[in-house]
Amino acid sequence: PCALGLATPTAVMVGTGVGAANGLLIKGGAVLEEAHAVDTVVFDKTGTLTTGKAVLGDLVDLTGGKDDIHIGRPASLGSMTATKDNNTVLWLASCAEAGSEHPLAQAIVNHGRNTWGNDVICAKDGVIVSDYHVSPGEGVECK
C-alpha cells in the first residue's frame, strides 16, 4: 500500500508533465481519471486546431425518421416541403449562411455554390434573404 501511495501521484505528475511538454495542459489527476470514459472529443477552435478551411463532408438527417420537413416561407411564396431525397434544406441553409463570415457558414455556402453554381444561390424560386441576424453560438436567423 505504501508503494501505491507514492507511485500513483508520481505517475500523474509525470503524465501531466509530459503532456505539458507536448503542448497539452491537464488541470490535474482527477481530469486524467475521468478521461478514460471519453469516447468523443469536439474541438471548437477553427483556425487554431485546423487549417481554417472547413468543407461540408456529409449531410446527416436529424428529422427523426420523418419523410418530409415543413419549411415556413413568406405567404407570397406559399410553403415548401423538403423531402429527404432533395437538397432543399441544404439550399436554404446556403442562402441563410451567405451573409455570414463564419468559416463553418462559408463551408455550407461553398458547398451550395459547388452544387448549384455561384449565381444560383438564393435566386431559385425568387427567394430573397432579409432580416438577417447572427446569434453567437447558435447560428443565423433570416426571412
Residue 138 in 3-state DSSP? coil
How far from 3 is each of 14, 29, 60, CA to CA, in Å? 16, 18, 51
Q: Backbone phi, then psi, for 55, in 5-degree steps?
A: -130, 150
Locate 131 and state its grid cell: 432580416
- Choice among 39, 44, 85, 119 that is catalytic: 44
C-alpha distance across the termini of the chain, in Å: 67
State yes or no: is 44 an active-site residue.
yes
- Report yes or no: 89 and 115 within 8 Å, Cβ to Cβ: no
* Positions marked active-site: 44
